Chain A
Amino acid sequence: MASVEFMEVAKSFGNVEAVTDINIAIDDGEFAVLVGPSGCGKSTLLRILAGLERATRGSIMVGGKVVDDLPPKDRDVAMVFQNYALYPQKTVAANMGFPLKMRGTDRKEIERRVQETAKILGLEDLLKRYPKQLSGGQRQRVAMGRAIIRNPSVFLFDEPLSNLDAKLRVRMRAEIKEIQQRLKTTTVYVTHDQVEAITMSDKIVVMRSGRVEQVGGPLDVFDRPANRFVAGFIGSPAMNFLDGKIISSGTGPEFVTESGLTCRLPEGCVRDLSQCASIGIRPEHIDLADEDVANAFNLRISVVEPTGADTMIIARSGTDELSALIKGRHAFDPGDSILLKPLPGMLHYFAQDGTAIHV
């Protein structure tokens, strides 16, 4: 078991800076998820931690020890690759036993641990098979078995679920989390899927263009995004943004968009009215307003998507667009006008440069 720390880490490939100024501290036993759009440098960071790439600047500590000069095998980390990277000419048992064999463990002990690990992962009946005879989910489990068998200080996962179909992905997500909770091994998990990130993590690191945008607990990041990028990236369906400004009217502060849409805001909710350049509202934080009230947006429905339990409405006014997830089933028609109000206290405010203004 060990903590992991990135200190001022940067990596360039030729002239291209892949990651810059990375400072992340992951506690012992924590499940940390690096999330961001593709090309944001999250996999590079994981590979630097594994020892497969060398940082151009900065240091990495595992368990309080600087590991920059150690080869992968001496870092006591185990890695699960996106395409599993199983050894195709070895059986499942030999694949899982390989890390132990490389460490000179004796054959009886390897056999015992393979059995033990296979039991945890439900692979007992597949031990004599070859990777190509397994389904995607089974291969995924073998790759995990190969990682957990030697009881490393840190698990590294590089988009391990992206090759699985949607249903299996949800199941494997729960399985990985359950195993991590049982073993309490520090885990660094890379994904581009923000749902995976929120559901699995103790700590989320949101990245963009080689930089860390925000580090925090999954619900912190969801509730108090540091900027517009994080706000839009985390959460599904994605947050709505309206550009505009806040003006003071006789009845209190009012938000006016560029196309003239207005909505009254709860009084005294914004400390500095002048800085706010846009507001954000999550679709699930929007409700129907019964009558023509001042704190609602008046829009025209363009798309209605019933999801079964809820109804998703996309409505427009000029260049402004709002998606709203309304509880229950509603009979709306495209073209109808609709009044939508943000739930009190659920608005996010952003300055011109995108940083959040916290209330």
Chain B
Amino acid sequence: MKRVFARRFDHPELLPLWLLTPAAIVMSVILIWPIAQGILLGFFNTRILNYNAGRYIGLANYEVLLADPFFWNSLKVTVYYGIASMSCTYALGLSFALLLNRSLPLRGIIRTIFILPWAVPEVVAVLIFIWMLDAQYGVINYFFVEAGFLDAPAAWLAQADLAMPALVLITSWHQFPLALLILLAGLQTIPREEYEAAMVDGAGAFSRFIHVTLPGLRSVNVILILILILNSFRRVTMIYAMTGGGPARATETLSILTYNTAFTYQKIGYAAAIGTVLLLILLVFSLVYFFTIIHVKRDA
């Protein structure tokens, strides 16, 4: 035993390898192995019942996929949901970040209150919103009707053209604290002198926002926007709990389509193929994210 240890330490350059091995094994088992399995499954016509009867069918799943209108619908919904929820979350986050960046009384308490939505579990948030959006008892309908935006209470989650806006609403409500925190941190790195210089140079409030605030947030913005889009592409719980992808597939993003195909239609091989496409899309975003961070770090 002693000899073995002694021999190992004859090669100190191998030490990092030894230290990394346990982590590498864990990562392979819980991450890389399932991903590989998932990709592999995409080449089989496996179903959940009678799982072992699945046969290798080459690229057949992908051929079907490219001709599947539901897949293309899903891709469209995903892009729409990604861009809409990202924009609304960002806008909400930036508004409140700008507000909290000023010296307000009770700023600490207000900041804590603004972070709260993020702490609410997604399913709980969804249940509250479903209740608020309810056609008969919902407080949202009540206000919209009273304010004259709606003639009559709407069944938000039952109408194809209203379900997506409702989903975007709850997503941005739930996610904006993340944007708020990141943007607030970004705002606080902008030196006060830059604003003062701009004031002396003749810039009004709007010009200062355009020429000082936004450029000062540039590196934070890129990262935040990528995180928000990535998250929206991966999101399952909230959408599933809210609409399950309906009505009429109006909110069926790729991740929901993958879930439905696997567990509602039980076509697990086909679902794996959809999942693989989603994986590739996320991979592209992750690479962009990764290289952006390296770039930002180098700039700093």
Residues of A within 8 A of B (CB): 50-52, 71-73, 77-79, 81-83, 85-90, 98-99, 102-103, 146, 156
Contact = CB atoms under 8 A, between A and B. Distances in A.
A50 B198 CA distance: 12
Contacts of A156: 200
B193 A81 contact: yes
B75 interface: no
27 contacts: A50-B196, A52-B196, A71-B199, A72-B196, A73-B201, A73-B202, A73-B203, A78-B201, A81-B197, A83-B191, A83-B193, A85-B193, A85-B194, A87-B194, A87-B197, A87-B215, A88-B215, A89-B216, A98-B198, A98-B201, A98-B203, A98-B211, A99-B201, A102-B202, A102-B203, A102-B207, A103-B202
Interface in B190-223: 191, 193-194, 196-204, 207, 211-212, 215-216, 218
Interface of B: 191, 193-194, 196-204, 207, 211-212, 215-216, 218
Contacts of B215: 87-90
A86 B196 CA distance: 11
B200 A78 contact: yes
Contacts of B202: 73, 99, 102-103
Contacts of A102: 201-203, 207
Contacts of B201: 73, 78, 98-99, 102, 146
A72 B191 contact: no
Given A88-B215, A89-B215, A72 B193 contact: no
A309 B157 CA distance: 90
Given A89-B216, A89-B218, A99-B202, 6 more contacts: A51-B200, A52-B199, A98-B211, A99-B201, A102-B207, A146-B197
A11 B78 CA distance: 57
A73 B200 CA distance: 5
Given A79-B197, A81-B196, A81-B197, A87 B211 contact: yes
A85 B203 contact: no
A81 to B, nearest CB: 5
Contact of B197 (A51, A85, A89, A103): A85
A146 B202 CA distance: 12
A48 B212 CA distance: 22
A359 to B, nearest CB: 46
